[in-house]
Amino acid sequence: MGKEKDILGLTPEELGKGLEAHFSERDQPAYRTAQVREWIFDGLASGFGDMTNLPLKEREALAQSFSINEPEVASVAKSKDGTVKHLWRLGDGELVESVLIPTEDRLTLCISSQAGCGMGCTFCATGFGGLRRNLTAAEIVAQYRASQRWASEEGRGRIGNLVFMGMGEPLANRKALFPALTILNQGYGVGARRITVSTVGLVPGILELSKRPEQFRLALSLHAPSSELRRTLIPLEDRYPLPEVVSALKTFDEAGGKRITFEYTLISGVNDHEHLAPQLAELAFGLQAFVNLIPFNPIPYQDWEPSPTERVKLFARVMEERGVPVAVREPRGRDIDAACGQLRAGALSKEHPPEGTPLS
């Protein structure tokens, strides 16, 4: 990497301006800008050498001023159920993961926003390693491009949905997330309603997202319907207590009919007591939120187990009875550790937890 501008982190507008200036300085026709834009956003070009309808001299000149930095594939794991996990090695050697999840009618990509995560949720494998660093907008976008290229080569079609449910807390990295959302939406044409930002409840981030004119979707990883219980699972409760989070969600909701989803991971004997189901339903009803019940994925250093199926069904029934739309998520990609909460990018060894890591 040199001092060239990394194209993947530029919004279409910034890229357009940068290219216009570049080509006009070189006395090139204006349509060169459109050619390059097309190669980047539609052709998913991974280098200027690919841009075969540009003269060789122009390809070389572009490479002097701009760069296209793609992550290396460190590994690809394919699950029996069709889920595919990519482990990407970034320019400085950091590792992040993204997961392609095929369902009946579409392909969903789950991407990472940070290497590691600093939120320390007690049920999450990513959280145990702490935050290593924020990703750049280019590194977020690059996961999408490389995954789409891979999917096309494998005949898996187009990525229809994008969820920020990989490693990291997206709203803790708004400096990169916000331009990345613009680039994915305006540049690569992923509809805003098909992009979901999942957060553990960073209030300033929720409020900022609600100011965006696009209808990006928001998922709140709730996991507890009361502050008291939430505190034991999500340390962020001390900074942003549940009532504040709920009020930020109301603002988000009022800003323009964007449906909110609650993610609720059911952990046996921890947050699946019967009396919690009506509390969850009440919270969701008040915000007209959709509830996703997720079976807990056991992680190393924590002996919690998923709730029994009967209990999951009971929660689902209580939601339905109270008029709350609900879905029970199927665990996907478990055989390759690709499920939510299992993304650790190989940074931690199963046998040797890092020193000072809380185990419960």
For ligand SF4, the binding residue among 45, 119, 181, 229 (CB under 6 A) is 119
Cα–Cα distance, 271 to 57 (Å, whole number): 62
Give 143's contacts (C-beta < 8 A, 6+ positions apart): 71, 86, 88, 96, 98, 109, 111, 112, 166
The footprint of ligand SF4 on residues 185-204 (CB under 6 A) is 200
- List the catalytic residue out of 58, 70, 94, 97: 97
To the query of whether residue 97 is one of the catalytic residues in this protein, the response is yes
* Helix, strand and coil percent figures for the chain, each rounded to 5: 40, 20, 40
Least Å distance between CB 56 and ligand SF4?
A: 45
For ligand SF4, the binding residue among 67, 83, 126, 185 (CB under 6 A) is 126
To the query of whether residue 351 is one of the catalytic residues in this protein, the response is no
Cα–Cα distance, 339 to 335 (Å, whole number): 9
Least Å distance between CB 186 and ligand SF4?
A: 27
Among 49, 51, 9, 45, residue whose Cα is nearest residue 32: 51
Least Å distance between CB 288 and ligand SAH?
A: 19
The footprint of ligand SF4 on residues 133-172 (CB under 6 A) is 168-169
The footprint of ligand SF4 on residues 310-329 (CB under 6 A) is none
Q: Exposure pattern of 157-182 as b/e (b: 16+ CB <10 Å)?
A: eebebbbbbbbbbbbbbbebbbbbbb
- List the catalytic residue out of 110, 121, 124, 340: 340
Q: Using CB under 6 A, list all residues that contact ligand SAH.
A: 117, 123-124, 165, 169, 198-200, 221, 263, 265, 294, 296-297, 299, 340-341
Q: Which residue type is seen at 270?
A: V
- Which spans in 183-235 are helix H? 203-210, 227-233
Helix (H, G, I), strand (E, B) or coil at 62: helix
Question: Binding pattern to ligand SF4, positions 4-43, x when CB under 6 A?
Answer: ----------------------------------------
Q: Which residue's Cβ has the minimum distance to ligand SF4? A: 127
Cα–Cα distance, 356 to 149 (Å, whole number): 40
Size of the site for ligand SF4 (CB under 6 A): 11
263 interacts with, out of ligand SF4, ligand SAH, none, CB within 5 to 8 A per kind: ligand SAH
Active site residues: 97, 340
Q: Which residues bind ligand SF4 (CB under 6 A)?
A: 117, 119-121, 124, 126-127, 168-169, 200, 221
